[in-house]
A and B are shown apart, each in its own frame.
Chain A
Amino acid sequence: MLRHIFRYTFLTHLREKNVLFWSLAFPLILATLFSAAFSNMQSAEGINKAIPLAYVAPASGNPLESSRGILEGIPRGGGSQDRLFELLEADDEQTARQLVLDGKAEAALLDGSQPRLMVQKVSLSQVVVKQVMDSISQARSTVVSLMRLGAPQQAMAAPDKISAADFVQPVPLNKSLMDHTITYFFALLAMTCLGACTAGAMTIITMQADKSLQGARVSVAPANKWLRTAGAGLAGYVVQLALALIVLAYVVLALGKSLGDQMPWVVLVVTLGTFLGYLMGMAVACMIRGSENAILGVTTGIYLFSSFLAGLMSQDVKRMVDQAVPFMGQVNPAGMITDSLYSLYYYGTLESKYILSMLLMSAAFMLLISLTLRRRYHDSI
Chain B
Amino acid sequence: MTVFKAFFQLAKRNLGAVALYMGIMLFMAIMVTSSKPANINELSVSTENYRISIHNEDRGSPVSEALEQSLSQRSLVKETGSSERAIKDALFWRDVDYVVIIPAGFGEALLAGSPMNITSYASPNDYTHMYIDNHVNAFMGTMLAYQAIGGLSTQDMLAHTEKDLSSQAELSFAQQNTEPGWMTGLSYYFRYLSYSLFAALATGMGYVLSEMLKQQNMLRVRASSMGETRFNLSLAAASASFGLFILLFLVIGGFLFMQAPLAALSYPKLWLLFLSAVLYTLLAIALTLLITAFTRHKGAMSGIINVVSLGSSFLGGVFVPVELLGGGLVNISKFIPAYWYTAAVDKLIKANGSNNAVMSGYWKDMGVLALMVAVLLSSTLLINKYKRQKAI
**In whole Å, how far is B197's beta carbon from the nearest beta carbon of chain A?**
17
Contacts of B324 in A (CB 8 A): 37-38, 40-41
Interface contact B326-A40, CB-CB below 8 Å? yes
Whether B299 is near chain A, meaning CB under 8 Å from some CB there, is yes
Also in contact, A167 and B170, with CB within 8 A (given A44-B124, A45-B125, A316-B31)? no
Interface contact B142-A180, CB-CB below 8 Å? no
Interface contact A167-B175, CB-CB below 8 Å? no
**Chain A 16-58 near chain B by CB (<8 Å), digits 1 or 0:** 0110011001100110011011111111110000000000000
**Chain A 123-157 near chain B by CB (<8 Å), digits 1 or 0:** 01011101101111110111001100101001001
Q: How far is the CA of A170 from the CA of B121 in the complex (A)?
A: 6
Q: How far is the CA of A179 from the CA of B85 in the complex (A)?
A: 16
Contacts of A375 in B (CB 8 A): none
**Residue from the list A142, A173, A178 in contact with B145, Cβ < 8 A:** A142
Contacts of A114 in B (CB 8 A): 170
Whether A97 is near chain B, meaning CB under 8 Å from some CB there, is yes
Interface contact A127-B130, CB-CB below 8 Å? yes
Interface contact B173-A119, CB-CB below 8 Å? yes
Whether A324 is near chain B, meaning CB under 8 Å from some CB there, is no
**In whole Å, how far is A135's beta carbon from the nearest beta carbon of chain B?**
7
Q: How far is the CA of A26 from the CA of B306 in the complex (A)?
A: 9
Contacts of A128 in B (CB 8 A): 127, 130
Interface residues of A in 240-270 (CB under 8 A from B): none
**In whole Å, how far is B43's beta carbon from the nearest beta carbon of chain A?**
7
Whether B120 is near chain A, meaning CB under 8 Å from some CB there, is yes
Interface contact A131-B134, CB-CB below 8 Å? yes
The listed residue with most A CB atoms (<10 A of its CB), out of B131, B137, B164, B315, is B164
Whether A68 is near chain B, meaning CB under 8 Å from some CB there, is no
**Residue from the list A33, A100, A140, A162 in contact with B174, Cβ < 8 A:** A100
Number of interface residues of B (CB under 8 A): 71
**Residue from the list A26, A180, A314 in contact with B93, Cβ < 8 A:** A180
Interface contact A137-B173, CB-CB below 8 Å? no
**In whole Å, how far is A21's beta carbon from the nearest beta carbon of chain B?**
5
Q: How far is the CA of A306 from the CA of B23 in the complex (A)?
A: 16
Also in contact, A165 and B164, with CB within 8 A (given A33-B310, A33-B315, A100-B174)? no
Whether A4 is near chain B, meaning CB under 8 Å from some CB there, is no
Interface contact A162-B130, CB-CB below 8 Å? no
Interface contact B303-A37, CB-CB below 8 Å? no
Interface contact A29-B31, CB-CB below 8 Å? no
Interface contact B140-A346, CB-CB below 8 Å? no
Interface contact A146-B149, CB-CB below 8 Å? yes
Q: How far is the CA of A317 from the CA of B118 in the complex (A)?
A: 33
Interface contact B45-A130, CB-CB below 8 Å? yes
Contacts of A221 in B (CB 8 A): none
Interface contact A168-B164, CB-CB below 8 Å? no
Whether A115 is near chain B, meaning CB under 8 Å from some CB there, is yes
Whether A175 is near chain B, meaning CB under 8 Å from some CB there, is yes
The listed residue with most A CB atoms (<10 A of its CB), out of B133, B141, B315, is B141
Interface of A is mostly: helix
Interface contact A161-B144, CB-CB below 8 Å? yes
Contacts of A118 in B (CB 8 A): 171-174
Contacts of B163 in A (CB 8 A): 141, 145
Whether B136 is near chain A, meaning CB under 8 Å from some CB there, is yes
Whether B325 is near chain A, meaning CB under 8 Å from some CB there, is yes
Interface contact B169-A145, CB-CB below 8 Å? no
Q: How far is the CA of A315 from the CA of B123 in the complex (A)?
A: 16
Contacts of B43 in A (CB 8 A): 119, 122
Interface residues of A in 252-302 (CB under 8 A from B): none
Whether A166 is near chain B, meaning CB under 8 Å from some CB there, is yes
**In whole Å, how far is B90's beta carbon from the nearest beta carbon of chain A?**
10
Also in contact, A173 and B164, with CB within 8 A (given A29-B307, A117-B169)? no
Nearest residue in B to A120 (C-beta to C-beta)?
A: B174
Interface contact A178-B91, CB-CB below 8 Å? yes
Also in contact, A131 and B130, with CB within 8 A (given A39-B326, A170-B122, A314-B31)? yes
Whether A209 is near chain B, meaning CB under 8 Å from some CB there, is no
**Residue from the list A38, A39, A97, A167 in contact with B117, Cβ < 8 A:** A167
Interface contact A137-B310, CB-CB below 8 Å? no
Q: How far is the CA of A348 from the CA of B120 in the complex (A)?
A: 23
**In whole Å, how far is B380's beta carbon from the nearest beta carbon of chain A?**
23
Contacts of A161 in B (CB 8 A): 141, 144-145, 148
Whether A319 is near chain B, meaning CB under 8 Å from some CB there, is yes
Interface contact A315-B117, CB-CB below 8 Å? no
Nearest residue in A to B87 (C-beta to C-beta)?
A: A171
Contacts of B149 in A (CB 8 A): 146, 149, 151, 154
Interface contact A37-B325, CB-CB below 8 Å? yes
**Residue from the list A26, A40, A42, A157 in contact with B303, Cβ < 8 A:** A26
Also in contact, A124 and B127, with CB within 8 A (given A37-B325, A142-B164)? yes
**Residue from the list A166, A177, A317 in contact with B137, Cβ < 8 A:** A166
Whether B35 is near chain A, meaning CB under 8 Å from some CB there, is yes
Q: How far is the CA of A100 from the CA of B336 in the complex (A)?
A: 31
Interface contact B142-A101, CB-CB below 8 Å? no
Whether B319 is near chain A, meaning CB under 8 Å from some CB there, is yes
Q: How far is the CA of A314 from the CA of B43 in the complex (A)?
A: 26
**In whole Å, how far is A159's beta carbon from the nearest beta carbon of chain B?**
9
Whether A88 is near chain B, meaning CB under 8 Å from some CB there, is no
Interface contact A164-B122, CB-CB below 8 Å? no
**In whole Å, how far is A34's beta carbon from the nearest beta carbon of chain B?**
7
**Residue from the list A34, A141, A168, A179 in contact with B133, Cβ < 8 A:** A168
Whether A5 is near chain B, meaning CB under 8 Å from some CB there, is no
Whether A108 is near chain B, meaning CB under 8 Å from some CB there, is yes
Interface contact B131-A33, CB-CB below 8 Å? no
Interface contact A169-B119, CB-CB below 8 Å? yes
Interface contact A138-B164, CB-CB below 8 Å? yes
Whether B51 is near chain A, meaning CB under 8 Å from some CB there, is no
Also in contact, A162 and B138, with CB within 8 A (given A37-B315, A130-B171)? yes
Contacts of B145 in A (CB 8 A): 142, 146, 154, 157-158, 161-162
**In whole Å, how far is A338's beta carbon from the nearest beta carbon of chain B?**
12
Whether B94 is near chain A, meaning CB under 8 Å from some CB there, is yes
Also in contact, A126 and B125, with CB within 8 A (given A97-B175, A131-B134, A142-B142)? no
- Besides A39-B329, A109-B169, 5 new A-B residue pairs in contact (Cβ under 8 A), listed by A number: A29-B311, A40-B325, A114-B170, A127-B131, A138-B142
Query: Shortest 5 CB-CB distances between A and B: which pairs?
Result: A165-B141, A162-B141, A133-B169, A141-B167, A100-B174
Task: Pull 27 A–B residue pairs with CB atoms less than 8 Å apart, ordered by A.
Answer: A21-B299, A25-B303, A38-B324, A43-B125, A116-B169, A118-B172, A118-B174, A120-B174, A127-B45, A130-B45, A130-B171, A131-B131, A133-B168, A137-B167, A145-B160, A157-B145, A161-B145, A162-B145, A165-B137, A167-B116, A167-B137, A168-B120, A170-B119, A173-B124, A175-B124, A316-B31, A346-B88
